[in-house]
Structure 1
Amino acid sequence: MPRLSHEHPASVPVPIPDRVAALIGSTVPMPVLQAEFDAVSAVREVLRFRGPLCAEDQQDREQALATLARANKVLAKYDPRLVVTPKAVAR
């Protein structure tokens, strides 16, 4: 029987208890935590726009993409595995 890894599509993510998440978060610099929050927010904003966009929606989407790029630059500098993509946030 094959062992499941975190890479395997059939594996199920295990929730991290709040205390453990707080301990992990306390070891990460504040600018990196802020960048992660900004990146996830920007991806959700980008995914909100669908179909033909009016000029105002297109500007909002481009602003969100710029925010995502800035946040990912900070995240990649700290650890390239932290980069946030729309696929990672979409559900």
Structure 2
Amino acid sequence: MNLPTVPMPGGVAGLIGSQIPAHVQDAEDEAVFAMLSIEQRRQPMAPEQLAEALATVARANKVLAAYNPGLIVKAGGPR
């Protein structure tokens, strides 16, 4: 059964976000930034840069998975 999506008001999203610990928010920001830097480049990254970016995503995903596995950042994800 497919339920319709309902938009979430900004105030509600802010209240939900305020309940997430700061280190988890920081980890999500790091993972999203690293993944975007990988996906949005016009030229391929140097192998060292790619390895560093992927390591950042992996490190941040460990924190996110420990808090809530649904927060894990994936390539091509909705973020």
TM over 0.5: yes
- Following superposition, which runs of at least 4 residues in structure 1 exceed 4 angstroms of deviation? none
Which of 37, 50, 57 in structure 2 is aligned with 1:45? 37
Say yes or no: does 1:21 pair with 2:50.
no
Is the contact made by 1:39 and 1:67 (CA closer than 8 Å) also made in structure 2? yes
TM-score (norm 2): 0.80
Unaligned runs of at least 5 residues, structure 1? 6-10
Which of structures 1 and 2 has the bigger CA Rg? 1
Aligned CA-pair RMSD: 2.2
Aligned 1:70-81 pairs, distance under 5 A:
70-81=59-70
- SS of residue in 2 equivalent to 1:76: helix
Unaligned runs of at least 5 residues, structure 2? none
Question: Offset at 1:48?
Answer: 2.9
Question: Offset at 1:45?
Answer: 1.0
Residue type of the partner of 1:81?
G
- Percent of aligned positions that are identical: 42
| Count of matched residue pairs | 79
Question: Offset at 1:21?
Answer: 1.2
